Structure 1
């Protein structure tokens, strides 16, 4: 690899402006590149909490519609909308590449396609960072995979499960496995006890919670069904659901609240919506759960819960299988068998000692295999290999 020049220019595109897992890794990636001498320009489709965090890093941020792919656009009108939006975005980004003398374009998530087309047109390297597992529809995985393969110099996958999912349609030699990492320091000490934000009936109860986007596959409804079954046998439990929906899909939250009500669980489940104090929430929990009903690529909240020394119960597919050591740092459970999950959960509910031991093992595992330093070194190395080849 050639010696690094003092400064280089990278254009980074991201499909969201929230502060969930992929956005948190986006911030860390920027910090990594800045530490290696990169000047970073970011383009987002919309304003949001991510922007203020980018401003703290003194990043040049532009808000311009990138034509992000969402399921709501999978119809004739939506496809036409995306084509028009992407065409405009290509012109905007091409001008930005010229103005900033961009050396490389980086696109975070498979929903951001325009960056690859612009990079190919401008004859500069493009890196696609994949955080998704797409099982169906098969045509969508093939379409996105072919586009990414034809427009990317390198593809980063956040887990082996993600790599395997895309290997059939993207040249496997292009795909590099780079596990996400987190800064553990915020999870060591409880700054604010969130009990004050819960109903009085939740005091002195075992708290079981999940933190995730509210959508059709993250498993909020499954979580409610599991909670209902557990409450038949235990009166010392309270459940938390944290997270909001993508803009335009707020109906998922309405459906969630209706499901809680119809299940008769309003006194046992608290929905906290979107929160920024994730570390404090995790430190207040006794058990963390992520019951995704479809494979989750490498859910950052699992790493965060492990860093907070909490036992993790996650469904046995996707990246969770590479994070949770079944029976040691938590449990891997079925994504379609409520009673089986309940029988496993009993072990943690009835044994504070088991919860503590698994939490300790989880924290040690994050430190050893998913540290922030390891991630930052691997990520910047993969990018710099293209900039200075």
Structure 2
């Protein structure tokens, strides 16, 4: 079997910066390779063309090309031609693409095209209560309707996407997976009282709610600290830096107890997770977040949001706490309870890792994907 991925991002030092989407694709690609599957990844919209192998994954970087007009259409057709040449030459059996901005719209191949719902622009606009740009809506709907099959990383994302785009297709659900040998507990001293948030600093991730929550935690646990790791993003409602909005919400004492690291090499994230006492991820908009899986796999107590997908990943009161981020007082109370109870942190951590191993480890998720691929290819 030869599976190819079409994606705008993929974690590699030779490519542009990648986020959770690229990480989830890489985890799946590595798992497939370990099962003897040949994997090619087409990473489009890059700064330069290149062709190389990394961990036995064939990576083809495709640089952006300028067009006088209709770039959104002409680039997609150019990508199609490049990919089809590799299909013909290398015997690729199936192409997988994400739903984000309808990257596969107007593309037709001689092999099946499957779209995986990681969260489209329309999906996130809906969760943010924002109006989606008409062009993005058109491209995403076109891509979804043109796909030979659709799979989603969560049932919540599948159901909401069907509602938003008026789809009547059957959508399978296969969650993101994680290599629990890569993400495991580390023998690192814990900074007692340290909270960790990692990910893009943006409103939809609950960052502004976290400021209000942290103010309440600081009042009752004076020794606590908050480590924020992630790039700043321009706020879609205020049209200004999210970090500046976050700082404006903090009390003077909370400002003294907070550290922001703009960018940390991906390899170093594990050490920051391991050295923190509690991880706080109060997001309003996710599909099936890799940051949550990474936290649980490393045996860390997690206080997350309680929205939609959360019930498919977390077990409230067992792997951590799931709380409405807008309920600042309750969210703070749950954090404070963990900061004052190291045994409970350990208990949640162990239960979280066991939960991930049993339900979301790469070995389990890869087999489900291979079964799906085989069914689609045979059809």
Coarse TM-score class (shorter-chain normalised):
0.7 to 0.9
Task: Give the one of 67, 88, 95 matched to 1:105.
Answer: 95
The answer to whether the aligner puts 1:185 opposite 2:181 as a matched pair is yes
Rounded to whole Å, the distance in 2 between the matches of 1:281 and 1:54 is 29
1:124 matched to which residue of 2? 111
Deviation at 1:57, TM superposition (A): 3.2
Rounded to whole Å, the distance in 1 between the matches of 2:30 and 2:314 is 27
Rounded to whole Å, the distance in 2 between the matches of 1:211 and 1:191 is 20
The answer to whether the aligner puts 1:90 opposite 2:72 as a matched pair is no
2:229 matched to which residue of 1? 242
Whether the aligned pair in 1 keeps the contact of 2:51 and 2:59 (CA below 8 Å) is no
Rounded to whole Å, the distance in 2 between the matches of 1:137 and 1:81 is 30
**Which runs of structure 2 are paired with 1:252-331 in the superposition (5 Å)?**
254-257=241-244, 259-260=246-247, 263=250, 264=252, 265-275=254-264, 276=266, 277-292=268-283, 294-331=284-321
What RMSD in Å do the two structures reach over aligned CA positions?
3.3
Q: How many residues align?
A: 354
Q: Are the structure 2 counterparts of residues 259 and 247 from structure 1 closer, same or farther at C-alpha, using a change threshold of 3 Å?
A: closer
The answer to whether the aligner puts 1:12 opposite 2:12 as a matched pair is no
Rounded to whole Å, the distance in 2 between the matches of 1:103 and 1:28 is 20
Q: Are the structure 2 counterparts of residues 339 and 359 from structure 1 closer, same or farther at C-alpha, using a change threshold of 3 Å?
A: same
Structure 1 length-normalised TM: 0.80
Deviation at 1:47, TM superposition (A): 5.2
2:12 matched to which residue of 1? none
Deviation at 1:322, TM superposition (A): 1.5
Whether the aligned pair in 2 keeps the contact of 1:44 and 1:66 (CA below 8 Å) is no
2:161 matched to which residue of 1? 166
Whether the aligned pair in 1 keeps the contact of 2:6 and 2:43 (CA below 8 Å) is yes
The answer to whether the aligner puts 1:115 opposite 2:108 as a matched pair is no
Deviation at 1:312, TM superposition (A): 1.1
Deviation at 1:41, TM superposition (A): 4.1
* Partner-residue secondary structure (3-state), 1:27: helix
2:148 matched to which residue of 1? 153
Rounded to whole Å, the distance in 1 between the matches of 2:95 and 2:204 is 30
* Partner-residue secondary structure (3-state), 2:30: helix
Deviation at 1:11, TM superposition (A): 3.8
Whether the aligned pair in 2 keeps the contact of 1:46 and 1:63 (CA below 8 Å) is yes
* Partner-residue secondary structure (3-state), 1:235: coil
Rounded to whole Å, the distance in 1 between the matches of 2:203 and 2:330 is 22
Rounded to whole Å, the distance in 2 between the matches of 1:216 and 1:207 is 22
Rounded to whole Å, the distance in 2 between the matches of 1:178 and 1:326 is 21
Listed as ranges, the gaps of 5+ residues in structure 2 are: 10-15
Deviation at 1:124, TM superposition (A): 3.1
Rounded to whole Å, the distance in 2 between the matches of 1:231 and 1:317 is 25
Listed as ranges, the gaps of 5+ residues in structure 1 are: 68-79, 196-203
Instruction: State which drifts further: 262-271 or 277-286.
Output: 262-271
The answer to whether the aligner puts 1:176 opposite 2:162 as a matched pair is no
Whether the aligned pair in 2 keeps the contact of 1:313 and 1:333 (CA below 8 Å) is yes
